[in-house]
Structure 1
Amino acid sequence: MMQRLLKTGLCLGAAVLFTGCATSSGHTDYSAYKASRPRSIVVLPPLNESPDVKATYGMLAQVSYPLAESGYYVLPVALVDETFRQNGLTAAGDMHAVAPGKLREIFGADAALYIKVTEYGAKYRLLSSDTVVAATGKLVDLRTGTTLWQGAASSANSSSGNAGGGIVGALIGAAIAQAVNSTVDTSYKVAGAASNKLLSAGQPNGLLYGPRSPRYESD
Protein backbone atom coordinates (compact mmCIF):
# COMPACT_ATOMS: atom_id res chain seq x y z
CA MET A 1 0.00 0.00 0.00
CA MET A 2 2.76 2.43 0.99
CA GLN A 3 4.67 1.52 -2.14
CA ARG A 4 1.74 2.58 -4.30
CA LEU A 5 1.39 5.81 -2.36
CA LEU A 6 5.04 6.68 -2.86
CA LYS A 7 5.24 5.74 -6.50
CA THR A 8 2.10 7.58 -7.37
CA GLY A 9 3.35 10.73 -5.70
CA LEU A 10 6.33 11.28 -7.83
CA CYS A 11 43.99 20.95 12.62
CA LEU A 12 46.65 21.57 10.46
CA GLY A 13 48.29 24.71 9.16
CA ALA A 14 48.98 28.18 10.38
CA ALA A 15 45.37 29.12 10.38
CA VAL A 16 42.10 27.20 10.43
CA LEU A 17 39.26 29.65 10.01
CA PHE A 18 35.53 28.89 9.89
CA THR A 19 33.48 31.48 8.07
CA GLY A 20 29.95 31.45 6.79
CA CYS A 21 26.92 33.41 5.83
CA ALA A 22 23.19 32.97 5.57
CA THR A 23 21.43 34.75 2.77
CA SER A 24 17.93 35.38 1.53
CA SER A 25 16.77 37.64 -1.24
CA GLY A 26 15.00 40.72 0.12
CA HIS A 27 12.48 40.78 2.93
CA THR A 28 10.83 37.48 3.83
CA ASP A 29 7.03 37.38 3.91
CA TYR A 30 6.09 35.23 6.91
CA SER A 31 2.31 35.52 6.57
CA ALA A 32 1.82 32.00 5.16
CA TYR A 33 4.33 30.60 7.65
CA LYS A 34 2.50 32.12 10.62
CA ALA A 35 -0.85 30.97 9.31
CA SER A 36 0.43 27.41 8.82
CA ARG A 37 2.07 27.05 12.25
CA PRO A 38 3.87 23.78 11.45
CA ARG A 39 4.73 21.61 14.43
CA SER A 40 6.43 18.66 12.75
CA ILE A 41 8.86 18.50 9.82
CA VAL A 42 9.94 15.67 7.54
CA VAL A 43 13.37 16.28 6.01
CA LEU A 44 13.91 14.78 2.58
CA PRO A 45 17.43 13.59 1.67
CA PRO A 46 19.12 16.61 0.05
CA LEU A 47 19.66 16.95 -3.67
CA ASN A 48 23.37 16.95 -4.46
CA GLU A 49 24.66 19.38 -7.07
CA SER A 50 28.27 19.04 -5.94
CA PRO A 51 30.80 16.50 -7.30
CA ASP A 52 31.20 14.86 -3.87
CA VAL A 53 29.02 11.75 -3.49
CA LYS A 54 29.05 12.15 0.30
CA ALA A 55 27.20 15.46 0.17
CA THR A 56 23.61 14.18 0.49
CA TYR A 57 24.10 12.17 3.66
CA GLY A 58 26.83 14.39 5.05
CA MET A 59 24.29 17.20 5.09
CA LEU A 60 21.30 15.05 6.05
CA ALA A 61 23.07 13.92 9.21
CA GLN A 62 23.38 17.52 10.39
CA VAL A 63 19.88 18.94 9.98
CA SER A 64 17.91 17.48 12.89
CA TYR A 65 19.73 19.31 15.67
CA PRO A 66 19.18 22.93 14.55
CA LEU A 67 15.56 22.18 13.66
CA ALA A 68 14.89 20.56 17.03
CA GLU A 69 16.65 23.42 18.82
CA SER A 70 14.41 25.79 16.87
CA GLY A 71 11.34 24.13 18.38
CA TYR A 72 10.15 21.55 15.85
CA TYR A 73 9.56 17.83 16.01
CA VAL A 74 11.74 16.29 13.29
CA LEU A 75 10.90 12.85 11.96
CA PRO A 76 13.99 10.60 12.30
CA VAL A 77 15.89 11.18 9.06
CA ALA A 78 17.21 7.61 8.88
CA LEU A 79 13.68 6.22 9.17
CA VAL A 80 12.41 8.57 6.48
CA ASP A 81 15.22 7.59 4.12
CA GLU A 82 14.66 3.89 4.78
CA THR A 83 10.92 4.24 4.16
CA PHE A 84 11.64 5.69 0.73
CA ARG A 85 14.16 2.97 -0.06
CA GLN A 86 11.89 0.14 1.04
CA ASN A 87 9.37 1.44 -1.46
CA GLY A 88 11.65 1.74 -4.45
CA LEU A 89 12.81 5.36 -4.24
CA THR A 90 16.58 5.53 -3.79
CA ALA A 91 17.47 8.81 -5.52
CA ALA A 92 16.90 12.14 -3.79
CA GLY A 93 15.39 13.59 -6.96
CA ASP A 94 12.68 10.92 -6.99
CA MET A 95 11.96 11.55 -3.30
CA HIS A 96 11.62 15.28 -3.92
CA ALA A 97 9.15 14.56 -6.73
CA VAL A 98 6.61 12.94 -4.39
CA ALA A 99 3.58 15.21 -4.06
CA PRO A 100 3.22 17.12 -0.76
CA GLY A 101 -0.15 15.52 -0.05
CA LYS A 102 1.34 12.04 -0.37
CA LEU A 103 4.21 12.93 1.95
CA ARG A 104 1.69 14.05 4.56
CA GLU A 105 -0.37 10.90 4.06
CA ILE A 106 2.68 8.69 4.53
CA PHE A 107 4.63 10.53 7.24
CA GLY A 108 1.95 12.61 8.94
CA ALA A 109 4.15 15.71 9.15
CA ASP A 110 2.89 19.28 8.85
CA ALA A 111 5.74 20.46 6.62
CA ALA A 112 8.61 19.13 4.52
CA LEU A 113 12.10 20.55 4.25
CA TYR A 114 13.72 20.35 0.82
CA ILE A 115 17.49 20.92 0.81
CA LYS A 116 19.83 21.33 -2.14
CA VAL A 117 23.61 21.07 -1.62
CA THR A 118 25.32 23.33 -4.14
CA GLU A 119 28.91 23.02 -2.86
CA TYR A 120 30.53 20.31 -0.76
CA GLY A 121 34.21 19.49 -0.45
CA ALA A 122 37.74 20.81 -0.72
CA LYS A 123 39.02 23.34 -3.20
CA TYR A 124 42.78 23.17 -3.53
CA ARG A 125 44.86 26.25 -4.24
CA LEU A 126 48.61 26.76 -4.51
CA LEU A 127 49.20 27.67 -0.86
CA SER A 128 45.93 26.70 0.83
CA SER A 129 43.02 24.29 0.95
CA ASP A 130 39.45 25.53 1.36
CA THR A 131 36.63 23.20 2.36
CA VAL A 132 33.28 24.74 1.43
CA VAL A 133 29.70 23.62 2.02
CA ALA A 134 26.80 25.64 0.61
CA ALA A 135 23.12 24.73 0.59
CA THR A 136 19.65 26.10 0.03
CA GLY A 137 16.50 25.13 1.90
CA LYS A 138 12.75 25.35 1.30
CA LEU A 139 10.01 24.63 3.83
CA VAL A 140 6.69 23.52 2.31
CA ASP A 141 3.31 23.10 3.99
CA LEU A 142 2.24 19.52 3.23
CA ARG A 143 -1.42 20.33 3.73
CA THR A 144 -1.58 23.03 1.06
CA GLY A 145 1.66 22.75 -0.92
CA THR A 146 2.48 26.38 -0.06
CA THR A 147 6.12 27.40 0.29
CA LEU A 148 6.50 28.84 3.79
CA TRP A 149 10.18 29.82 3.75
CA GLN A 150 13.30 29.72 1.60
CA GLY A 151 16.91 30.42 2.51
CA ALA A 152 20.56 29.75 1.73
CA ALA A 153 23.76 29.43 3.73
CA SER A 154 27.40 28.51 3.36
CA SER A 155 30.38 27.77 5.56
CA ALA A 156 34.10 27.33 4.87
CA ASN A 157 37.19 25.95 6.55
CA SER A 158 40.38 27.52 5.19
CA SER A 159 43.71 25.85 5.97
CA SER A 160 46.90 27.62 4.95
CA GLY A 161 50.08 25.61 5.17
CA ASN A 162 53.15 27.07 6.86
CA ALA A 163 55.99 24.73 7.67
CA GLY A 164 58.58 27.54 7.81
CA GLY A 165 61.21 28.24 5.23
CA GLY A 166 59.41 30.84 3.12
CA ILE A 167 57.66 29.83 -0.07
CA VAL A 168 59.07 26.30 -0.05
CA GLY A 169 57.84 25.75 3.49
CA ALA A 170 54.44 27.16 2.58
CA LEU A 171 54.16 24.80 -0.38
CA ILE A 172 55.10 21.83 1.79
CA GLY A 173 52.57 22.85 4.43
CA ALA A 174 49.86 23.28 1.82
CA ALA A 175 50.62 19.83 0.38
CA ILE A 176 50.32 18.28 3.86
CA ALA A 177 47.04 20.11 4.53
CA GLN A 178 45.63 18.92 1.24
CA ALA A 179 46.63 15.33 2.01
CA VAL A 180 44.95 15.49 5.41
CA ASN A 181 41.76 16.97 3.92
CA SER A 182 41.73 14.10 1.43
CA THR A 183 41.81 11.45 4.15
CA VAL A 184 39.69 13.15 6.82
CA ASP A 185 36.11 14.18 6.06
CA THR A 186 36.57 17.84 6.89
CA SER A 187 33.45 18.59 4.85
CA TYR A 188 31.29 16.83 7.43
CA LYS A 189 32.18 19.35 10.15
CA VAL A 190 31.76 22.25 7.75
CA ALA A 191 28.34 20.86 6.77
CA GLY A 192 27.34 21.07 10.42
CA ALA A 193 28.25 24.76 10.51
CA ALA A 194 26.37 25.43 7.25
CA SER A 195 23.33 23.53 8.53
CA ASN A 196 23.25 25.59 11.73
CA LYS A 197 23.40 28.81 9.75
CA LEU A 198 20.66 27.66 7.41
CA LEU A 199 18.22 26.13 9.89
CA SER A 200 18.65 27.87 13.25
CA ALA A 201 15.61 30.03 13.97
CA GLY A 202 15.79 33.69 14.90
CA GLN A 203 18.18 34.85 12.19
CA PRO A 204 17.32 37.63 9.72
CA ASN A 205 15.08 36.07 7.03
CA GLY A 206 15.53 32.69 8.74
CA LEU A 207 13.15 30.08 10.09
CA LEU A 208 10.65 31.08 12.75
CA TYR A 209 10.74 29.41 16.15
CA GLY A 210 8.56 26.31 16.43
CA PRO A 211 5.97 25.48 19.11
CA ARG A 212 8.46 23.50 21.24
CA SER A 213 10.65 26.56 21.70
CA PRO A 214 10.15 28.95 24.64
CA ARG A 215 10.60 31.76 22.08
CA TYR A 216 7.65 30.58 19.99
CA GLU A 217 5.13 33.29 19.15
CA SER A 218 1.63 31.85 18.87
CA ASP A 219 0.01 35.04 17.62
Structure 2
Amino acid sequence: MQRILSYIGSLTLLVWLTGCVTTDANLDYTAFRESKPASILVLPPLNSSIEVEATTAVLAQSTLPLAESGYYVVPVALMDETFRQNGLTEPEDIHQLPLNKLREIFGADSALYITVTEYGSQYAVLASTITVAADASLIDLRTGTTLWSGQKKVAQSSGGGSLLGMLVQAVVDQVVNTLSDRSYQVAGVTTQMLLGAGQPGGILYGPRSPHYETQ
Protein backbone atom coordinates (compact mmCIF):
# COMPACT_ATOMS: atom_id res chain seq x y z
CA MET A 1 0.00 0.00 0.00
CA GLN A 2 2.83 2.37 0.82
CA ARG A 3 4.39 1.76 -2.58
CA ILE A 4 1.04 2.42 -4.28
CA LEU A 5 0.55 5.67 -2.39
CA SER A 6 4.10 6.66 -3.19
CA TYR A 7 3.48 6.00 -6.87
CA ILE A 8 0.23 7.94 -6.87
CA GLY A 9 1.90 10.79 -5.02
CA SER A 10 4.60 10.97 -7.68
CA LEU A 11 2.07 11.47 -10.47
CA THR A 12 1.71 15.02 -11.71
CA LEU A 13 -1.45 16.28 -13.29
CA LEU A 14 -1.06 19.18 -15.62
CA VAL A 15 -2.63 22.29 -14.11
CA TRP A 16 -5.26 23.49 -16.52
CA LEU A 17 -5.01 20.68 -19.00
CA THR A 18 -6.94 21.73 -22.07
CA GLY A 19 -8.38 19.30 -24.59
CA CYS A 20 -10.78 19.61 -27.45
CA VAL A 21 -12.86 17.63 -29.88
CA THR A 22 -12.16 19.11 -33.31
CA THR A 23 -14.59 19.44 -36.16
CA ASP A 24 -14.35 17.44 -39.36
CA ALA A 25 -11.55 18.82 -41.52
CA ASN A 26 -13.15 17.34 -44.67
CA LEU A 27 -16.38 19.35 -44.65
CA ASP A 28 -17.94 20.25 -47.98
CA TYR A 29 -17.84 24.05 -48.29
CA THR A 30 -19.52 24.22 -51.70
CA ALA A 31 -22.78 25.68 -50.38
CA PHE A 32 -20.88 28.07 -48.10
CA ARG A 33 -18.82 29.47 -50.98
CA GLU A 34 -21.88 29.81 -53.23
CA SER A 35 -23.91 31.55 -50.52
CA LYS A 36 -21.23 34.12 -49.62
CA PRO A 37 -22.90 35.20 -46.35
CA ALA A 38 -21.80 38.62 -45.12
CA SER A 39 -23.94 38.92 -41.99
CA ILE A 40 -24.83 36.50 -39.20
CA LEU A 41 -27.64 36.49 -36.64
CA VAL A 42 -26.58 34.53 -33.56
CA LEU A 43 -29.64 33.06 -31.87
CA PRO A 44 -29.77 32.35 -28.12
CA PRO A 45 -28.22 28.89 -27.66
CA LEU A 46 -30.29 25.93 -26.59
CA ASN A 47 -29.07 24.53 -23.28
CA SER A 48 -29.03 20.80 -22.60
CA SER A 49 -26.63 21.11 -19.66
CA ILE A 50 -27.76 21.41 -16.04
CA GLU A 51 -26.36 24.95 -15.61
CA VAL A 52 -28.88 27.71 -16.27
CA GLU A 53 -26.21 30.29 -17.10
CA ALA A 54 -24.84 28.29 -20.02
CA THR A 55 -27.00 30.01 -22.65
CA THR A 56 -26.00 33.53 -21.59
CA ALA A 57 -22.31 32.68 -21.19
CA VAL A 58 -21.96 31.09 -24.62
CA LEU A 59 -24.10 33.70 -26.39
CA ALA A 60 -22.09 36.56 -24.89
CA GLN A 61 -18.86 35.18 -26.33
CA SER A 62 -20.05 33.93 -29.69
CA THR A 63 -20.11 37.20 -31.61
CA LEU A 64 -16.44 38.16 -31.20
CA PRO A 65 -14.85 35.24 -33.09
CA LEU A 66 -17.39 35.69 -35.89
CA ALA A 67 -16.69 39.42 -36.15
CA GLU A 68 -12.95 38.76 -36.11
CA SER A 69 -13.49 36.25 -38.91
CA GLY A 70 -14.87 38.98 -41.15
CA TYR A 71 -18.64 38.99 -40.66
CA TYR A 72 -21.13 41.62 -39.59
CA VAL A 73 -22.85 40.14 -36.54
CA VAL A 74 -26.25 41.41 -35.44
CA PRO A 75 -25.66 42.92 -31.95
CA VAL A 76 -26.80 40.60 -29.17
CA ALA A 77 -28.62 43.41 -27.35
CA LEU A 78 -30.60 44.28 -30.47
CA MET A 79 -31.46 40.64 -31.12
CA ASP A 80 -32.52 40.03 -27.52
CA GLU A 81 -34.65 43.19 -27.25
CA THR A 82 -36.36 42.54 -30.57
CA PHE A 83 -37.42 39.07 -29.47
CA ARG A 84 -38.56 40.33 -26.08
CA GLN A 85 -40.69 43.03 -27.66
CA ASN A 86 -42.41 40.24 -29.56
CA GLY A 87 -42.92 38.05 -26.48
CA LEU A 88 -40.12 35.58 -27.25
CA THR A 89 -37.73 34.86 -24.39
CA GLU A 90 -37.07 31.12 -24.62
CA PRO A 91 -34.38 29.78 -27.01
CA GLU A 92 -36.57 26.78 -27.82
CA ASP A 93 -39.30 29.06 -29.20
CA ILE A 94 -36.85 31.30 -31.04
CA HIS A 95 -35.19 28.35 -32.77
CA GLN A 96 -38.59 27.36 -34.19
CA LEU A 97 -39.19 30.69 -35.95
CA PRO A 98 -39.45 30.59 -39.76
CA LEU A 99 -36.22 31.49 -41.52
CA ASN A 100 -37.91 34.01 -43.79
CA LYS A 101 -39.26 35.82 -40.73
CA LEU A 102 -35.78 36.12 -39.22
CA ARG A 103 -34.51 37.41 -42.55
CA GLU A 104 -37.33 39.94 -42.75
CA ILE A 105 -36.82 41.27 -39.20
CA PHE A 106 -33.02 41.36 -38.96
CA GLY A 107 -31.93 41.49 -42.61
CA ALA A 108 -29.14 38.98 -41.99
CA ASP A 109 -27.92 36.54 -44.64
CA SER A 110 -27.53 33.67 -42.19
CA ALA A 111 -28.34 32.54 -38.67
CA LEU A 112 -26.19 30.59 -36.23
CA TYR A 113 -27.95 27.91 -34.21
CA ILE A 114 -26.01 26.72 -31.13
CA THR A 115 -26.70 23.99 -28.60
CA VAL A 116 -24.68 23.86 -25.37
CA THR A 117 -24.32 20.18 -24.49
CA GLU A 118 -22.00 20.49 -21.47
CA TYR A 119 -21.24 23.39 -19.15
CA GLY A 120 -19.78 23.64 -15.65
CA SER A 121 -17.36 22.07 -13.18
CA GLN A 122 -17.29 18.61 -11.66
CA TYR A 123 -15.39 17.32 -8.64
CA ALA A 124 -13.82 13.90 -9.23
CA VAL A 125 -11.78 13.11 -6.06
CA LEU A 126 -8.31 14.00 -7.37
CA ALA A 127 -9.23 16.78 -9.77
CA SER A 128 -11.81 19.41 -10.49
CA THR A 129 -12.73 19.61 -14.15
CA ILE A 130 -14.51 22.37 -16.06
CA THR A 131 -16.09 21.31 -19.34
CA VAL A 132 -17.85 23.34 -22.00
CA ALA A 133 -19.12 21.67 -25.16
CA ALA A 134 -21.30 23.06 -27.93
CA ASP A 135 -22.66 22.21 -31.36
CA ALA A 136 -23.36 24.86 -33.99
CA SER A 137 -24.90 25.15 -37.45
CA LEU A 138 -24.88 28.11 -39.83
CA ILE A 139 -28.08 28.30 -41.89
CA ASP A 140 -28.67 30.47 -44.96
CA LEU A 141 -31.79 32.52 -44.18
CA ARG A 142 -32.45 33.07 -47.88
CA THR A 143 -32.52 29.41 -48.95
CA GLY A 144 -32.61 27.32 -45.75
CA THR A 145 -29.39 25.59 -46.73
CA THR A 146 -27.00 24.42 -44.02
CA LEU A 147 -23.72 26.18 -44.86
CA TRP A 148 -21.59 24.78 -42.05
CA SER A 149 -21.83 22.74 -38.86
CA GLY A 150 -19.30 21.91 -36.17
CA GLN A 151 -18.82 20.92 -32.57
CA LYS A 152 -16.22 21.63 -29.94
CA LYS A 153 -15.49 20.44 -26.42
CA VAL A 154 -12.94 22.00 -24.08
CA ALA A 155 -12.09 20.50 -20.68
CA GLN A 156 -9.74 22.03 -18.13
CA SER A 157 -8.56 20.00 -15.13
CA SER A 158 -6.42 20.99 -12.16
CA GLY A 159 -4.42 18.98 -9.66
CA GLY A 160 -0.87 17.95 -8.86
CA GLY A 161 1.60 17.15 -6.08
CA SER A 162 1.09 14.58 -3.33
CA LEU A 163 -2.06 12.53 -2.94
CA LEU A 164 -3.19 14.67 -0.01
CA GLY A 165 -2.28 17.84 -1.88
CA MET A 166 -4.25 16.67 -4.91
CA LEU A 167 -7.32 15.96 -2.78
CA VAL A 168 -7.15 19.34 -1.05
CA GLN A 169 -6.47 21.19 -4.31
CA ALA A 170 -9.39 19.52 -6.05
CA VAL A 171 -11.77 20.61 -3.30
CA VAL A 172 -10.37 24.15 -3.30
CA ASP A 173 -10.61 24.37 -7.08
CA GLN A 174 -14.20 23.19 -7.02
CA VAL A 175 -15.10 25.98 -4.59
CA VAL A 176 -13.17 28.59 -6.62
CA ASN A 177 -14.73 27.37 -9.85
CA THR A 178 -18.18 27.79 -8.36
CA LEU A 179 -17.55 31.21 -6.85
CA SER A 180 -15.65 32.76 -9.77
CA ASP A 181 -17.43 30.87 -12.58
CA ARG A 182 -14.34 29.77 -14.45
CA SER A 183 -16.77 28.03 -16.76
CA TYR A 184 -17.36 31.43 -18.38
CA GLN A 185 -13.67 31.65 -19.25
CA VAL A 186 -13.68 28.13 -20.66
CA ALA A 187 -16.77 29.03 -22.68
CA GLY A 188 -14.73 31.81 -24.27
CA VAL A 189 -12.07 29.32 -25.33
CA THR A 190 -14.72 26.96 -26.67
CA THR A 191 -16.50 29.59 -28.77
CA GLN A 192 -13.20 30.87 -30.16
CA MET A 193 -12.16 27.38 -31.24
CA LEU A 194 -15.62 26.56 -32.59
CA LEU A 195 -16.47 29.77 -34.43
CA GLY A 196 -13.13 31.29 -35.38
CA ALA A 197 -12.21 30.99 -39.07
CA GLY A 198 -8.94 29.57 -40.34
CA GLN A 199 -9.14 26.29 -38.41
CA PRO A 200 -9.59 22.75 -39.76
CA GLY A 201 -13.32 22.19 -40.07
CA GLY A 202 -14.11 25.77 -39.05
CA ILE A 203 -16.15 28.44 -40.80
CA LEU A 204 -14.72 30.30 -43.79
CA TYR A 205 -13.47 33.88 -43.56
CA GLY A 206 -16.10 36.55 -44.22
CA PRO A 207 -15.97 39.50 -46.66
CA ARG A 208 -14.63 41.92 -44.01
CA SER A 209 -11.51 39.78 -43.50
CA PRO A 210 -8.28 40.28 -45.47
CA HIS A 211 -8.22 36.48 -45.78
CA TYR A 212 -11.59 36.37 -47.56
CA GLU A 213 -11.79 33.71 -50.28
CA THR A 214 -8.28 32.44 -49.50
CA GLN A 215 -9.48 29.11 -48.11
TM-score normalized by the length of structure 1: 0.88
Q: Distance in 2 between matches of 1:54 and 1:218?
A: 37
Aligned ranges for residues 78-157 of structure 1 at < 5 Å? 78-157=77-156
Return 27-36 or 91-100, whichever deviates more.
Answer: 27-36
Instruction: Please state if 1:174 is matched with 2:174.
Output: no
SS in 2 for 1:58: helix
Shift in Å at residue 170 of structure 1?
Answer: 2.3
The code of the aligned residue for 2:67 comes to A
Q: What letter matches 2:168 in structure 1?
A: I
Deviations 1:68-109 (Å, cap 9, x if unpaired)?
111000010121012111211110010000011000000000
Give 3-state SS (helix, strand or coil) of 1:23's partner: coil
Whether the 8 Å CA contact 1:198–1:206 is kept in 2: the answer is yes
Pairing 1:8-87 to 2, within 5 Å after superposition: 15-24=15-24, 27-87=26-86
> Is 1:188 aligned to residue 184 of structure 2?
yes
Q: What RMSD in Å do the two structures reach over aligned CA positions?
A: 1.7
Q: Per-residue deviation at 1:200?
A: 0.7
1:65 CA displacement: 0.9
- Tell me the distance in 2 between the aligned counterparts of 1:28 and 1:156: 24
Name the aligned partner's letter for residue 182 of structure 1: T
Which consecutive residues of structure 1, in runs of 5 or more, have no partner in the other structure?
1-12
Amino acid at match of 2:200: P
Report if the CA contact (8 A) 2:45-2:55 is conserved: yes
Q: Which amino acid aligns with 1:90?
A: T
AA paired with 1:22?
T
Partner letter of residue 15 of structure 2?
A: A
Q: Which deviates further from its counterpart, 90-99 or 170-179? A: 170-179
Q: Is the 8 A contact 2:38 2:206 kept in 1?
A: yes
Distance in 1 (CA, whole Å) between partners of 2:146 and 2:14 is 44
1:134: how far off? 0.4
Aligned-partner SS, 1:178:
helix
- Counterpart of 2:201 in structure 1 is 205
TM-score of the pair, normalised by structure 2: 0.90
Q: Percent identity?
A: 56
Cα offset, 1:161, TM superposition: 5.5
Pick closer, same or farther for the CA change 1:217–1:169 going to 2, 3 Å.
Answer: closer
Give, in whole Å, the separation in 2 of the partners of 1:93 and 1:161: 41
Distance in 2 (CA, whole Å) between partners of 1:29 and 1:23 is 12
Letter in 2 for 1:51: I
Which residue in the other structure is 2:3 paired with? none
Distance in 2 (CA, whole Å) between partners of 1:22 and 1:194 is: 11
Letter in 1 for 2:165: G
Shift of 1:206: 1.2
Residue 218 of structure 1: how far off its partner (Å): 8.1
**8 Å Cα contact 2:130-2:182 kept in structure 1:** yes
Structure 2: 5+ residue stretches without partners = 1-12
Deviations 1:13-62 (A, max 9, x none): 971223323223x7211111111100000000000010000000100010
- Taking the aligned partners of 2:214 and 2:174, their CA distance within structure 1 comes to 49
Spell out, residue by residue over 1:140-165, the C-alpha distance to the aligned partner (whole angstroms, 9 max, x if none): 00001111110001112211165xxx
